[in-house]
Amino acid sequence: MNEELFKARTRKLALDIIGLVESLSRGRTADVIGRQLLRSGTSIGANYRAACRGKSKADVISKLAIVEEEADETIYWMELHRIENRRALSSQRINERKQRNSCNGSSINKNPSRTIMLSFALNPKSKI
């Protein structure tokens, strides 16, 4: 991959990360993950550009090592975001199910014949 193409790809990555961070919900966890993700994700391109202007081979290698570290850190924060997002969605689904079950429970208590039908549906071997 040539230098200009890699610069373009790292710039697109930075813009995608900015968009992702802007779309995060507000809260302490999202703020911390977002801030870290924004910092590491946007520094990949900046450090690559600095590596392209390196004064010596050792300078270029050193700056490319920073690019690699920042890319790895970005992956780490994205993984945390994905895990936290799944956890939040699972909690939301559990709460929705609890709400639905409480609504169903209240309607069952008001309609005894429905309770009998429900018990039969749950236990097809029932004699009822």
- The count of other CB atoms within 10 Å of the CB of residue 69 is 14
| Per-residue confidence (pLDDT) for residue 89, from 0 to 100 | 66
Instruction: Find the radius of gyration of the CA atoms of the chain.
Output: 26
Q: DSSP class of residue 24?
A: S
Unique residue bearing structure tokens 């690699």 = 68
| Per-residue confidence (pLDDT) for residue 116, from 0 to 100 | 46
| Per-residue confidence (pLDDT) for residue 1, from 0 to 100 | 76
Q: Which amino acid is at 37?
A: L
- The sign one gets for the Cα dihedral 70, 74, 77, 79 is negative
CATH code of domain 3-96: 1.20.1440.60
Q: What is the mean pLDDT of each run of 10 residues along the chain (128 residues)?
A: 92 94 88 94 96 95 95 93 78 67 56 46 50
pTM of the model: 0.67
| Per-residue confidence (pLDDT) for residue 92, from 0 to 100 | 64
Could you give the angle at the alpha carbon of 21 between the alpha carbons of 88 and 66, nearest 5°?
A: 115
